[in-house]
Structure 1
């Protein structure tokens, strides 16, 4: 992997942050994709955007789901993410295996935005893909 940006590694790493903050929950790939997308692009008063908005931001939503799934498989194979099989489908959670995150302004902002989305009960507030896209 030569480029970490927009790669399964980047999406998987952000998923690990999400799973750590949503530690009481197991999340589906669709929920993780939704939270990741909103973490990047949802307007939150007082917090900067993680990625700049652009004309094709809406088209990224579908691509998020496929890349996140690959990232989840990768970090699961390393033992950082666990899989739970349920009647609702495959769900993912964080294991207790330690992972050394890089502390940076980006990671601090990322965590702040994820905490905010958790505080507004993001999975109930935005139930459909169209609600997610309309929020951007």
Structure 2
């Protein structure tokens, strides 16, 4: 039996939700990964009372593998013509296209609705921060979390 949790398929669905929140602009895979992480672990960033995926002492160690899954998901979505790619001075950025919007409109679940709300809060949370600052903040929280647990 295949496990869809933390798979490229699951991450691809979350990427589409993130890009629907950012439909007015193009964003990088690192920004997508940061929004995904902040949305899932909103309590750690004080944008939610709970974490969507529950409490996990190793949550910050997930960020690196999540970035890899995000890159794989983005590639899959580009090949499926659900998102568009735009080269920029800093690399590639991505945008949900009409096919992706049609597909995302089919998502009807409590999880998808809650995740979309968290993406909106995460976007507001990082609004006045650079991508570099957001990634640095996640890294610093990761180090703090490990030190707090004596690891």
Aligned-pair RMSD on alpha carbons?
2.2
Matches within 5 A, 1:79-94: 79-94=81-96
Q: Which residue of 1 aligns with 2:113?
A: 108
CA shift in 2, pair 1:65/1:123, >3 Å: farther
Can you give the 5+ residue segments of structure 2 that lack an aligned partner in the other structure?
146-151
Matched, 1:67 2:69: yes
Q: Which residue of 2 aligns with 1:18?
A: 18
Q: TM-score under structure 2 normalisation? A: 0.80
Q: TM-score under structure 1 normalisation? A: 0.88
Q: Which residue of 2 aligns with 1:49?
A: 51
After superposition, the C-alpha distances for 1:49-80 in whole angstroms (9 at most, x for unaligned) are 21012121111011111110101111111111
The structural deviation recorded for 1:129 is 2.6
Contact 2:47 2:125 in 1 (8 A): no
Distance across 1 between alignment mates of 2:134 and 2:123: 17
Can you give the 5+ residue segments of structure 1 that lack an aligned partner in the other structure?
none
Contact 1:83 1:92 in 2 (8 A): yes
Distance across 1 between alignment mates of 2:75 and 2:129: 26
Larger Rg: 2
